[in-house]
Structure 1
């Protein structure tokens, strides 16, 4: 059973990677931007036809697109993603080095958005229709429609320009070697970009958690617990939180793709040298090998996050089962509903 489920997931991942590779390469081939002009930049006027032809030959741009695609796909199958023209280094090395910087940023933002969003969602659901619910819901809707770069610029102006409590840019102090930077200094530079990402990611968690709490409070077993004299705090802690945390975690793992997309904009606003900044640099320079490598890496990253979310959801919610194909389904309830504490099932009578 486990091997069948794992095999199904791997097959789906391979098919997904192939589809992403085809779509990404087709978009790169159809781009109106000349890769040679983008690679040379402002010095394009000083480049003669012979030098231009040598650059095109060096990066294999003279071959037909279909031939270039299959050559690249064959190299990917052996683990070679090519060489980045922007960074003059192997694509795997560039992704590994930049992702380490982005991982700390995304991990902090992911934890902050999950914890804060779940807490506010529970508060809004418990206080449904009251002032706290209206304030939290309004705030979540505003954040859901706010662009990441706008929130980043606003926080940058308030905390860095107006108050001067956070750095203006970068992952380490300007002019300081990376080996000489302390952990506290790294966290100081990480705080504002992570806050930007977490503020944007809070909104969907708040809204979904609030709805899950409202549905849980309307359930029959909650009404029965209240009738037995259980306090409101006891009802929330023992009967509501578990029903609310499962969909919140599923949504949190499913938001890894949005988190990565937001990190691209946040890293540009704060000049943070992570994978998002490398993606922007590769796009501006039409660095096809690096862009394709980042597309494949992001696909694996998001796919693994979704699968982890499914597994965690199935563990927290016993009604959810994972089929061998990897898809989730909810087990059908018994005809008479769940047994109530203190009663004897019909089969045992």
Structure 2
């Protein structure tokens, strides 16, 4: 197990290095001028000398390789640099924004997993029925539905037309954070969580259904049915372990889709999370913040895949034997 963990850490370090270089190269070719974006409409009042001073203060007057080497050296020492837009350390911004996004992504990840697994079981247990066809059609529609489009529909209907939920933000406007109640926070989370949950259901439901159909048509299930087992007893004793492994792997591997969906959802609902920071950094040419969030997202997604591997071993001891032999 220690050897397995060390190999994973080595892969993560190599992945971070490759992503850092690729991301910096792509950002370097961005047409956005950080100085002009930061100053905004007042750019006409700023002299060329003042613009050069700002570039020198931010280190933008250096060549691209020098900028990258300085940034990489600082990252190796645990310093992600300072945001050009927020004028704060990048690490502080990531922690602050991710804390807000964690509630949104965590609830959506949990609900989509449970609902998708349940729908997959219903479809697989009733293969070929009207219920099965309805679940497959529902999932296929969701799989082709963009998160931002679904969020706009929910926003227009439930917030604008019916007025059941707030239009956006993470708390009521004009109220101090200390005065915001838990109910208010939940009320502002419902529509964003619902958007991410609905979109995330399709993959896990379809995969679970296909795996359950495969298991139910296997030889050992036929033998169990010959002994008189059927229904939920058959599923509980012979099916759940076989379909839970791929479901867990797929759901933890969906961290990347979850993160990407959260970026779009937070924009639609003006939710002050990590997704909004990404968009603002991109539009403002904030290279340190963009690179910092990129590295954080890589670690976040890698953690999901790593947890899936560990749960594989916990659920199926045969995976541990295979890992040791490898």
TM-score relative to the length of structure 2: 0.97
CA deviation string 1:308-341 (max 9, x = no partner)? 011112322344347669xx98xxxxxxxxxxxx
**Aligned equivalents of 2:213 and 2:317: distance in 1?**
20
CA contact (8 A) 2:139 2:206 kept: yes
Matched, 1:60 2:73: no
Give the aligned partner of residue 298 of structure 1. 297
Structure 2 counterpart SS, 1:171: coil
Deviation at 1:163, TM superposition (A): 1.3
User: Which residue matches 2:215?
Assistant: 216
| Alignment deviations for residues 138-196 of structure 1 (CA, whole Å, 9 cap, x no partner) | 01010000111100001111111121111101000111111111111111101110110
Partner of 1:158: 157
Conserved 8 A contact 2:32-2:284: no
Q: Match for residue 202 of structure 1?
A: 201
| Equivalent pairs, count | 326
1:335 aligns with: none
Structure 2 equivalent of residue 256 of structure 1: 255
- Tell me which residue corresponds to 2:308: 309
Map 1:3-152 → 2, pairs under 5 A: 3-152=2-151
Residue in structure 2 matched with residue 226 of structure 1 by the alignment: 225
Instruction: Provide, for residues 8-31 of structure 1, a one-character-per-residue CA deviation record: whole Å limited to 9, x for no partner.
Output: 111111000000100111111111
RMSD (Å), alpha carbons? 1.5
Structure 1: how far apart are the matches of 2:32 and 2:161?
40
Q: Is the contact between residue 8 and residue 324 of structure 1 (CA under 8 Å) also seen in structure 2?
A: no
> Which secondary structure does the structure 2 equivalent of 1:202 belong to?
helix
Distance 1:40 1:203 in 2: 44
**1:318 and 1:217 mapped to 2: Cα distance?**
22
* Matches of 2:77 and 2:24, distance apart in 1: 18
Q: Which residue of 2 aligns with 1:241?
A: 240
Residue 272 of structure 1: SS of its match in structure 2? coil
| Distance change >3 Å, CA 322–CA 159, structure 1 → 2 | farther
What is the CA distance between 1:197 and its match in structure 2? 0.5
Contact 2:82 2:289 in 1 (8 A): yes
Q: TM-score, normalised by structure 1?
A: 0.91
User: Matched residues in 2 for 1:105 and 1:255: separation?
Assistant: 15
Deviation at 1:231, TM superposition (A): 2.5
**Higher-helix-fraction structure:** 2
1:78 & 1:152 partners in 2: Cα distance? 40
Q: Is the 8 A contact 1:243 1:317 kept in 2?
A: no
| Alpha-carbon distance in 1 for matches of 2:42, 2:271 | 27
Corresponding residue number in structure 2 for 1:341: none
- C-alpha offsets along residues 234-272 of structure 1, whole Å, 9 cap, x if unaligned? 111211122111111111100011100000000000000
Partner of 1:338: none
The SS at the match of 2:194 is helix
Distance 1:209 1:324, change over 3 A: closer
Contact 2:32–2:283 (Cα < 8 Å) also in 1: no
